[in-house]
Amino acid sequence: MIDLLVVGGGPAGLATAVHATLAGMEAVVVEPRPSPVDKACGEGVMPSGVRALRALGLELPPGHPLRGIRYVRGPHHAEAPFGDGTGLGVRRTELHAALTRRAEEAGVKIVTDRVGEIGQSADSVTAAGLRARWLVAADGLHSPVRRGLGLDLPDRRPRRYGLRRHYHVKPWTDFVEVHWSDAGEAYVTPVAEDVVGVAVLSTRRRGYDEHLAAFPDLLDRLDGPPATSVRGAGPLRQRV
Ligand SMILES: Cc1cc2nc3c(=O)[nH]c(=O)nc-3n(C[C@H](O)[C@H](O)[C@H](O)COP(=O)(O)OP(=O)(O)OC[C@H]3O[C@@H](n4cnc5c(N)ncnc54)[C@H](O)[C@@H]3O)c2cc1C
């Protein structure tokens, strides 16, 4: 019997498994997708997140330093530098590759599989053919494990959706910019010397370009070609 079975090898699952291994436990991560996993994300790691990555003993992946946050609406803006260090704008694939490397180096076993049914007894949990003392459900926002255990609650608040794309544009700022419009928000994160990511979040379901049209000033800045295709996620709210 192993100590810890982690369902899901995203950032939360891999970080949990590394911490468990550093604490002397035998941890196995079960994840169906090969590394590096990409995902719709704003890709801004706050200073506390950078410290958390360092605490894992991880070599920081390549990215772009983030020094604060700026909120923009038309001609108005408000901004503040981070008071507790520097953040990191980082492509999701770079972050995932670095976390996977660190997990493997720490001795975490990563099994390519999807967890289905989970069995429980007084002293163990069984899933994906493995028996463990504990199981961590790190299987994402819509956690099938949580749903399977009947822990989801109905959520009647408006549903929000996220879409993101990257552009070959030299970053014009080392702040995360949050642009507001009546239709939603656009998060702009520099992630490399020549790439910015733009994630739009809204309750309205429509195409990425339609969303972006609500931010004409931002659109003017994005004068380089797209660097990635559009990737989406949602709905983003869950009650547990
Ligand atoms: C548009 C958008 C913008 C965002 N911007 C930011 C940001 O700027 N900064 C920030 O910090 N956060 C941001 N977030 C949030 C961030 O993406 C999530 O908090 C983060 O991905 C959560 O990581 P996780 O490991 O919990 O889940 P995930 O990254 O979703 O990983 C879950 C993993 O579980 C696996 N899995 C699912 N089902 C099973 C199963 N049955 N068996 C085994 N494995 C399974 C999946 O394959 C997946 O790899 C954003 C999110 C969105 C949608």
197-213: pLDDT as tens digits:
999 999 988 999 999 99
pLDDT of residue 81: 98
* Interval between CA 126 and ligand 1 midpoint (Å): 24
Cβ neighbour number for residue 99 with a 10 Å cutoff: 26
Q: Are 130 and 114 within 8 A, CB to CB?
A: no
Q: Which atom of ligand 1 is nearest to the CA of 46?
A: 11
51-72: pLDDT as tens digits:
999 999 999 999 999 999 999 9
32 lines ligand 1 (CB under 6 A): yes
Query: Where are the domains positioned within the chain?
Result: 2-43+91-148, 66-85+155-240
Helix (H) or strand (E) holding 125: strand 125-127
37 lines ligand 1 (CB under 6 A): yes
Q: Average the pLDDT over 188-193 and give the result.
A: 98
pLDDT confidence bin for 180, thresholds 50/70/90:
very high
Pocket probe mutation, ligand 1, options 110, 139, 161, 179, max atoms within 8 Å of Cβ: 139
Whether CATH 3.50.50.60 fits 2-43+91-148: yes
Domains 2-43+91-148 and 66-85+155-240 share a fold: no
Q: In what order do the strands lie in the sheet with 195-202?
A: 76-81, 68-73, 175-181, 184-192, 195-202, 161-167, 231-233
Indicate the CATH number for domain 66-85+155-240. Answer: 3.30.9.100
> How far lies 8's CA from each of 31, 114, 117, 195, in Å?
5, 8, 14, 29
C-alpha to C-alpha distance for 113 and 9, rounded to whole angstroms? 10
